Structure formats: C-alpha cells, structure tokens
Amino acid sequence: MGLAATIVAVAGSSRVSQSSDELATLSAARRSAAGLWELAQHVDGHFLPYYAFMHLWAGFGQAEWWLRLPSAVATGAAAALIAGLGRRLHSPAAGMTAAAVYVFLPSVSHHGQNVRPYAFAAAAAVLAAWALHRAIEEPGRRGGRWGYAAAVALLGCTQVFALLVLAAHVLALALYGRGVLARMLPALAVGCVPGAVWAVVGFTERHAIRWIDMPGSAVFLALPRTAGGTAPAGGILLALTLTGLLLARRHRVHCLWTTLLAGWAVLPPVLLFGMSHLISPVYVDRYLFATVPAYALLAGLALASMSPLLAALALTTALTAGLPGQLDVRREDGHRENFPLAVRIISDNVLPGDAIMYNGSWLRTGMLYYGGRSLPDDVLLAGPHPRPDSFDYPERTDVTAALDGRERVWVLWRGNRGSASSGSDRPGALVRAGFTRDRSWRTGRSPGMTVALYTR
C-alpha cells in the first residue's frame, strides 16, 4: 500500500506549476549552508530541518517531480503506517481500507505533490500514534516508550502546528488511567523538546505570517473540505468518520483509541482557532493536514465493520467522489499559481528591447525557474541572488531611470487585473514614468497572478 500511495502521488507531479510556497522551499534549498542558517534567523526558522533536508536533496536535481518526490515518499510511508495502525486497532481489513481512503483523497495528492513539509507531518503524526499504541499494548517490548519519544521528536521537526495532534494523546492517556499516563508522560515530554524549540523560533518570527486573517467560526464548517480536498470527498469522508466512531465501540475498539482518533481529528482545529484569537492569527487550512490520517483511520474502522458488499459500495463511492479532485490537482494550475503560462504569454508576445518588472520580487524565482534567459531584460534586478534575510531579490529603486530608452515593459503581480496590491507599486511608477497599460492576462487560480504589458 505504501508503494501504491507513492506512485499515486508521483503521477502527474511534473505537470503542475510550482506554487509560491514551493518556490520558497526552492529558494531556501539553493542557498549554501551558511546562507540557509542566515535565512532561518529572519524567516521560516521553524522550517529549518525540512529546508536543510531539501538543500541536500536539491543537490541531485531540481525538476518538479524530483523536488516533490520526498513528499510522495512520505505519503507512501503514511499510508503504510495507517495500514499498520488500522490492523492493530481493529483488523487487516480496517488498515487496508483506511490506507485506500487516505491515498485517494485529493488533499493527500495535493500535499504528496507539494515541496513543503506537510506530507512529512502527516506521516510523523501516524508514526507517533503507532508508537504510542505499541508502547501501551506491548509494555514488555524493549524501547517502546523511547521509540514513542523519538516519533514525537520527529513530528515536532516537520511542522510545528502538527504538534497539536498530541493533545489527543494526552486526553486519551488521561482517560486510560493514571498508571499509563505516569508511564508515558516523561517520554512525551522529552519528545516535545525539539518541537518546543522550533515553536519558540516560529513565535519570534511571527512577522512572516502577518498575512493570515483572523478566523471566524465558519472555518469549522469547512473542515470536511479541508480534510478531503473537495466538498464531495470531504462529505463522504465525514460520513464514514462518524460511522466509524459509532461502530468502534461495538466492535471492541478500546475507548482509549477511539478517543485518540476523535481527538486527533477535532482538537487541532479547535486549538489552532483558540491560538489565533488569544495570541496571533495562525489558522491556515494546510496547517491541519496532519489530522487527515485520523479521518482515514475512522473511515477504515467503519468500512471494516460493514458487510463486504456495503463496504465495497461505500469505498467505491468515496473513491469516485475524490476522482474529480484528483484530476484537478494535477492540472497545470493545480497548486493555484501558473508560472509556465505566464512565461508562455510573455514569450509569445515579446519584442526585442522589452523589459520586465515584478510587483513583488519573490515572483522572480518562479519566472526564472520556468523562463530562465528567455525572459525580457530584468531592468530592476540589482543582484543575481535573493537577499540573505528573505525570499526577495535586491532591486533598484529608480524606476524611471531604469526604463530610459524602453518602450514596452512587462509587469507581474499577484492578484487580479485591476489591482497590484502586493509588493511595491510598480504599475503606479510606470504610469508616472509615462507608460499606460496596453494588455493584461490572468494566470492561475484565485488570487492568481496578472501579467500586464505597459507601453510608453
């Protein structure tokens, strides 16, 4: 099942444009070890373990499929662990059906083809739950508690908000009894040390997530879509999850593990919502991806508790509901941005002597990745490498002087055609320099990116 999950995640991964977040990973991975350390002291420091791994990985290639392969492998590892944990909790059938549900969720394919650490976080979350079950159900096995501590430590090094799944561990242990709680808490505390360090680093760099809005209660209504990737897939997944909760006790799944799975699915979004209102807005759907294995495991318990015919029908319905989303995430704009289309638009309409400018210099990373030297003259670029403390590039500020002798300028910004809200006001500077917008094109999905041609 793990190999099948990896193959599903890899399929079509070379066609999808990299997103701005993926390009941030690429920008970090391309730096030297010293440069990566310098970046981590200013922004994305809590991603340093992942960026360091990708720094080594990118040394062997930078094609889309290669950069995304580690996430695909992590998806395969998560599926294999889900199958193993489902077998431990109920039966081999529960494990296999849970893994099948997980593999064919559009959200899983999205993160399995994403050059970000969320697929790793999901795999580590399953590993931590598997290790907890092993330590409790097989107390005589050597190294059980400290294997659990190591799994928790790995979880904290993937993505700090994935640590919120541990609230379900604490709740389940507390309900199980004082003896088990006293035995496992030291291992849990030791395992949380690396994650606590990265959480402190992330808190000191919270200026980097000022773009996150304060969440409203409507985010809880969106949880099925968040877990499933699309509304139909999420609806079927939620129905199977609730059925799994209802049937778990009837089929002698210990209340400890039912509580763990329910808390794993529900507590992280509640805690993330509370943190947003008490400390700083941090609620982003992708930060909750580590909860998706819990939904899949509960769905597996439900399917394994049904008659074979009904289970086959339900599983077929779930897979069918996820198919449109699976195809959608493999479109060229499946990750929202579409840099290849922007490059094609410019290449098809460029004339000798054209210039290019970016309203948000980080967009340059994507355009250079897909367009390279075929792009027009980058008249504002003041250095070939991003700034050591950010993903932006050094740029000239004298726009009018930089455009001396130029008759046509291409400008890119994030957002729709009527605005240029990100970065500095390049379109406004062009108007003041005597240029007017001639044409514009929209690429990618909302908020998308605008490619505009200005002429003098």
Give Cβ neighbours of residue 266 (< 8 Å, ≥ 6 apart). none
Domain boundaries, the chain: 2-328, 339-455
Least confident of 261-265, 308-312, 425-429: 425-429
| Closest C-alpha among 251, 226, 259, 232 to residue 301 | 251
| Closest C-alpha among 162, 161, 152 to residue 192 | 152
Residue-level length of the chain:
456
Residue pLDDT, tens place only, 42-80: 999 999 999 999 999 999 999 999 999 999 999 999 999
Evaluate if residue 420 carries a pLDDT over 70: no
Share of the chain above pLDDT 90, in %: 75
Task: Look at residue 139 in the predicted model and tell me its pLDDT.
Answer: 78
C-alpha 302: how far from its chain's center?
27
Token pair of 382 as six digits: 């003041």
State how far the Cα of 10 lies from the Cα of 299, in Å rounded to an integer: 24
The pLDDT of 406-421, averaged and rounded, is: 79
Find tokens 């009018």 and name the residue: 400
State how far the Cα of 183 lies from the Cα of 292, in Å rounded to an integer: 28
Give Cβ neighbours of residue 87 (< 8 Å, ≥ 6 apart). 94, 95
The pLDDT of 101-124, averaged and rounded, is: 96
Task: Look at residue 179 in the predicted model and tell me its pLDDT.
Answer: 77
Task: Look at residue 153 in the predicted model and tell me its pLDDT.
Answer: 97
Task: Give how far Cα 374 sits from Cα of 20, 137, 179, 333, 356, Å.
Answer: 21, 61, 67, 21, 11
The angle at the Cα of 449, spanning 443 to 454, to the nearest 5 degrees, equals: 95
Task: Look at residue 22 in the predicted model and tell me its pLDDT.
Answer: 96
The pLDDT of 287-311, averaged and rounded, is: 93
Left (φ > 0), alpha (ψ -120 to 50) or beta: where does 252 sit?
left
pTM: 0.93
State how far the Cα of 385 lies from the Cα of 112, in Å rounded to an integer: 29
Please indicate whether residue 390 or residue 248 has the higher confidence score (pLDDT): 390
Residue pLDDT, tens place only, 223-233: 999 999 999 99
The pLDDT of 237-251, averaged and rounded, is: 82
Cα atoms in the 13 Å half-sphere on the side-chain side of 102: 41
Residue pLDDT, tens place only, 26-42: 999 999 999 999 999 99
Other beta carbons less than 10 A from residue 266's beta carbon? 16
Please indicate whether residue 249 or residue 389 has the higher confidence score (pLDDT): 389
Please indicate whether residue 147 or residue 2 has the higher confidence score (pLDDT): 147
Task: Look at residue 421 in the predicted model and tell me its pLDDT.
Answer: 44
Task: Look at residue 232 in the predicted model and tell me its pLDDT.
Answer: 94
Task: Look at residue 419 in the predicted model and tell me its pLDDT.
Answer: 53
| Closest C-alpha among 451, 454, 405 to residue 429 | 454
Please indicate whether residue 175 or residue 326 has the higher confidence score (pLDDT): 326
Evaluate if residue 422 carries a pLDDT over 50: no
Give Cβ neighbours of residue 267 (< 8 Å, ≥ 6 apart). 164, 165, 167, 168, 171
- HEC sequence for the chain: CHHHHHHHHHCCCCCCCCCHHHHHHHHHHCCCHHHHHHHHCCCCHHHHHHHHHHHHHHCCCCCHHHHHHHHHHHHHHHHHHHHHHHHHHCCHHHHHHHHHHHHCCHHHHHHHCCCCCHHHHHHHHHHHHHHHHHHHHCCCCCCHHHHHHHHHHHHHCCCHHHHHHHHHHHHHHHHHCHHHHHHHHHHHHHHHHHHHHHHHHHHHCHHHHCCCCCCCCHHHHCHHHHHHCCHHHHHHHHHHHHHHHHHHCCCCCCHHHHHHHHHHHHHHHHHHHHHHHHCCCCCCHHHHHHHHHHHHHHHHHHHHCCCHHHHHHHHHHHHHHHHHHHHHCCCCCCCCCCHHHHHHHHHHHCCCCCEEEEECCCHHHHHHHHHHHHCCEECCECCCCCCCCCCCCCECCCHHHHCCCCCEEEEEEECCCCCCCCCCCHHHHHHHCCCEEEEEEEECCCCCEEEEEEEC
**How much is the mean pLDDT over the chain?**
91
